[in-house]
């Protein structure tokens, strides 16, 4: 069972400023979570293998095949500044000029 002191300790570690009503709410909610986990501990899983899947696994990736892309001229067609085959951008930092 989670106590008020436990919540205050974790809140202090996480540097959370919780009000008194928030601390009481956290104590209640965390205890509800622990009770739900306790119920799950009673479930018999002896017949379930350690790597059981509820749905079959399948590869959803496509084959890695090269495809033609956009040409350099088409990519730079609307560039505001161009220098040969490159995109030119305005200077951002003055150092290194």
In angstroms, the CA 7 to CA 13 distance is: 10
Placement of tokens 């002191």 in the chain: 5
**Helix H or strand E encompassing 23:** helix 20-41
Placement of tokens 């909610």 in the chain: 29
pLDDT of residue 14: 96
Every domain of the chain and the residues it spans:
4-41
pLDDT band for position 58 (cuts 50, 70, 90) = confident
How confident is the model over 4-48, as pLDDT tens digits? 999 999 999 999 999 999 999 999 999 999 999 999 888 998 887
In angstroms, the CA 21 to CA 7 distance is: 12
4-41 maps to CATH 1.10.20: yes
């Amino acid at each position: 069972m989670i106590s008020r002191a436990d919540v205050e300790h974790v809140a202090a570690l996480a540097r959370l400023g919780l009000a008194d009503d928030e601390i009481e709410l956290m104590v209640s909610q965390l205890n509800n979570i622990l009770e739900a986990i306790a119920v799950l501990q009673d479930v018999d899983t002896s017949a379930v293998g350690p790597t059981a899947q509820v749905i079959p696994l399948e590869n959803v990736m496509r084959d890695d095949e090269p495809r033609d892309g956009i040409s350099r001229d088409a990519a730079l067609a609307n560039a505001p500044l161009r220098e040969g085959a490159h995109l030119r951008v305005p200077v951002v930092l003055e150092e290194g000029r």
